[in-house]
Amino acid sequence: MNRLPRINLNLVAVLLALLALLAPLQSALAHKPSDSYLAISAKGAAISGQWDIALRDLEYAIGLDADGNGEITWGEVKAKHADIASYALARLAVRAGDSACPLRATAHLIDEHSDGAYAVLRFEGECARAPDALDIRYGLFFDFDSQHKGLLRLESEAGTLSGIFAADRSEQRFELHKRSALEQFLNFGHEGVWHIWKGFDHVLFLLSLLLPAVLVFRRQRWEQVQDFRPAFWDVVRVVTSFTIAHSITLSLAALQIIWLPSRLVESTIAFSVLLAALNNIRPVVEGRRWMMAFAFGLIHGFGFASVLTDLGLPRDSLLLALVGFNLGVEAGQLVIVSVFLPLAFMLRSTPLYRRGLMHGGSLLIALVALIWMLERIFDLRIITLR
């Protein structure tokens, strides 16, 4: 009489855990997350800028392919110049104090990025007075893509600032004063923390490697570890290997010593998540997951570097920005690990953990990673420019 309620509660707990794991990924399943690149220059009361927006995103938002043949010609883009400017500038607002700085389009170009063709919108604006700070509101594509990010580089007489706009960080203030080395360091550190928390593929790769830390594979099944110490040191080895590896390639790529194509990097990152998750279901690399963490961490470093490069490294404090961003990434990782490990150790003997999170969670991660990998290899939303 007492078993039925207990079984039902376990099943409910497993389902709730899987739903909690799936919740932050629902929008990520839709397609490869997109970025736009916004450069703004403030000189006195004058504002000028350039906005690079992916044609594939504009096609989805306003429609560029007039004949519907899957290709976008320069003529089709040119015919939509007014619509592109109207759509984009309606979703970008710059204010100096209580006064708006109205923006107007001045030129349209096309540029090739590593992940495809981009429309380049150049614009100008004028504030009522030379601002001490700019309040910027960014709302591009958030209505249909919650994973979209706007990467900002803001230049003024005080130096270069950077920022990342996201659906939950669509309005930000930028103080236009000369920043100390410490302020620049903390700014890039903050962006590093933000990037790792918003980088679902990096987080899922790390979690896939951490899930088995509180278990041991014996007699063709996962069993709980008896002591916290081996679990702790297993996590230390995995996280340290991942950190060392991605720090190496992050530095090399950010300093433009080594560069890899974006699609190759992003596809391999998705592949690494897939392998790490499948390894939890049928272990091949069980006691040496730190080696997997190091090998694929080298690729993840290129992914981190692409964001840092797009933010615009300040030339006068290149090393400081690089170190700050990298330490921010590490701080974000440590927060994830410090929350995960104690909970995993407490739950390690329960069906919720071994069946729900270890097997069910790993299967779900593998499915998400497979979708990511196919999207990134074949670029399912790709539109060629001719």
Is 70 exceeded by the pLDDT of residue 19? no
* pLDDT range class, residue 13, cuts 50, 70, 90: very low
* pLDDT range class, residue 263, cuts 50, 70, 90: confident
Residues 6+ apart with CB under 8 A from 264: none
Is 90 exceeded by the pLDDT of residue 128? yes
Average pLDDT over residues 339-364: 94
Looking at every residue in the chain, the average pLDDT score rounds to 86
* pLDDT range class, residue 1, cuts 50, 70, 90: very low
d(CA 213, CA 345): 9
pLDDT at site 2: 37
- Return the domain boundaries, the chain: 35-178, 193-385
d(CA 120, CA 127): 23
* pLDDT range class, residue 15, cuts 50, 70, 90: very low
* pLDDT range class, residue 315, cuts 50, 70, 90: low
377 burial level (CB within 10 Å; 0-12, 13-18, 19+)? middle
Query: CB–CB of 294/249 below 8 Å?
Result: no
Average pLDDT over residues 293-307: 92
Nearest to 23 by CA among 352, 348, 351, 361: 361
Nearest to 197 by CA among 304, 283, 77: 304
pLDDT at site 24: 44
Q: Give the CA-trace dihedral at 164, 166, 170, 173, to 10 degrees.
A: -20
Residue percentage of the chain with pLDDT more than 90? 64
Predicted confidence (pLDDT) per residue in 132-168, tens digit: 999 999 999 999 988 899 999 999 988 888 888 999 9
Q: 106-120, 176-190, 275-289: lowest mean pLDDT where?
A: 176-190
Average pLDDT over residues 245-256: 91
pLDDT at site 11: 42
d(CA 236, CA 337): 10
4 or 236, greater pLDDT: 236
pLDDT at site 147: 82
7 or 43, greater pLDDT: 43
pLDDT at site 3: 39
Sign of the C-alpha dihedral, residues 239, 261, 63, 369?
A: negative
Q: 17-31, 302-316, 319-333: lowest mean pLDDT where?
A: 17-31
Residue percentage of the chain with pLDDT more than 70? 88
pLDDT at site 7: 37
72 or 182, greater pLDDT: 72
Sign of the C-alpha dihedral, residues 373, 304, 109, 129?
A: positive
Angle at 71 between CA 371 and CA 58, to 5 degrees: 70
* pLDDT range class, residue 271, cuts 50, 70, 90: very high
Average pLDDT over residues 291-297: 95
158 or 264, greater pLDDT: 264
Angle at 131 between CA 125 and CA 136, to 5 degrees: 60
Average pLDDT over residues 61-80: 93
pLDDT at site 286: 72
pLDDT at site 29: 41
Assign 3-state DSSP to the chain and report helix, strand, coil percentages, each to 5. 55, 25, 20
Q: Which two tokens stand for residue 91?
A: 């979703």
d(CA 305, CA 62): 31
pLDDT at site 162: 86
Element (H, E) at 81: helix 81-89
Average pLDDT over residues 186-198: 86
Its CATH architecture, for the domain 193-385, is Up-down Bundle (1.20)
DSSP conformation class of 202: H
Angle at 163 between CA 298 and CA 105, to 5 degrees: 120
Pairing of strands 103-113, 159-165: unpaired
d(CA 200, CA 204): 6
DSSP conformation class of 100: E
Nearest to 306 by CA among 325, 291, 323: 325
First to last CA, the chain: 71
- Statement: the pTM of the whole predicted model exceeds 0.85: no
Is 50 exceeded by the pLDDT of residue 26? no
